[in-house]
Amino acid sequence: EDQVTQSPEALRLQEGESSSLNCSYTVSGLRGLFWYRQDPGKGPEFLFTLYSAGEEKEKERLKATLTKKESFLHITAPKPEDSATYLCAVQADRDDKIIFGKGTRLHILP
Amino acid sequence: GAGVSQSPRYKVTKRGQDVALRCDPISGHVSLYWYRQALGQGPEFLTYFNYEAQQDKSGLPNDRFSAERPEGSISTLTIQRTEQRDSAMYRCASSQESPGTASYYEQYFGPGTRLTVT
């Protein structure tokens, strides 16, 4: 069964304190791994798609990396406006269903 | 341009009533997904459409749930004989590319419909 596990469930950081969020996945044939950001009361907002191990993508203070078993979302020198829930999702190559993890709630303290 | 819209934003209904939730995707988007999201959880896949064809409905909890997209644009998720356990946020998302062909699956999510069954 396809599965996505995110850790930690919640993370509190001081402004400027870099860290990483983890997404471990089990899928038979990965078509793509996705990272989304979700603010309270809103729908998820797309950040990145990664397709193969070794791939990296960056956007402002965020960098996503992918291995054969997990993905990391690195946050460098975060600011309070980076506070949100970060969701990881995978899509298998045998169908188009997208499986989301439970997310990591990130809180950046000023 | 306009994003994905959903209506109603909030729906309170009595147990046993039927409800219809509407999703209006971004114009021209081929794919449309329905999700259910519980508080503190990630979105849970329900079903998806490619144009007007329902491609996968394996995530629908039971036969009280159905969805349609007759003209390949607006979609309706219908829940018959609602139960309290159906209370949740229902979200839809649309994507420009057709699944299975493109390599880029960015989904644009709507604001959701908060369903409360009393």
B1-19 pLDDT, tens digit each? 589 999 999 999 999 999 9
DSSP single-letter state for residue B9: S
Provide residues of B within 8 Å CB-CB of chain A: 4, 31, 33, 35, 40-45, 48, 50, 55-56, 58-59, 91, 93, 99-100, 103-112
B74: CB partners within 8 A, 6+ apart? B22, B23, B24, B25
Q: Is the pLDDT confidence value at A41 over 80? A: yes
- The answer to whether the Cβ–Cβ distance between B42 and A49 falls below 8 Å is no
User: Measured between beta carbons, which residues in chain B are less than 8 angstroms from residue A47?
Assistant: none
Do residue A43 and residue B40 have CB atoms under 8 angstroms apart? no
Average pLDDT in chain B? 92
What residues contact B67, with CB distance under 8 A and at least 6 apart?
Answer: B34, B46, B47, B49, B54, B57, B60, B75, B76, B77, B78
Per-residue pLDDT tens over the stretch B31-55: 999 999 998 899 999 999 999 999 9
Residues 6+ apart with CB under 8 A from B53: none
Question: Band of the pLDDT at B105, cuts 50, 70, 90?
Answer: low
Bridge partners for A24 per DSSP = A5, A70
Rounded CA separation B91/B93 (Å): 7
Between strands B10-13 and B113-117, the pairing is parallel
Tell me what pLDDT residue B100 has. Answer: 56
Q: Work out the average pLDDT over B59-68.
A: 96
pLDDT at A96 over 90: no
Q: What is the mean pLDDT of residues A5-26?
A: 97
pLDDT given for residue A92 in this prediction: 86
The pLDDT assigned to A63 comes to 98
Chain A hits for B110, Cβ within 8 Å: 43
Q: Distance between CA A86 and CA A103 in Å, rounded?
A: 5
Residue B86: pLDDT band with limits 50, 70, 90: very high
Residue B87 has pLDDT above 70, yes or no: yes
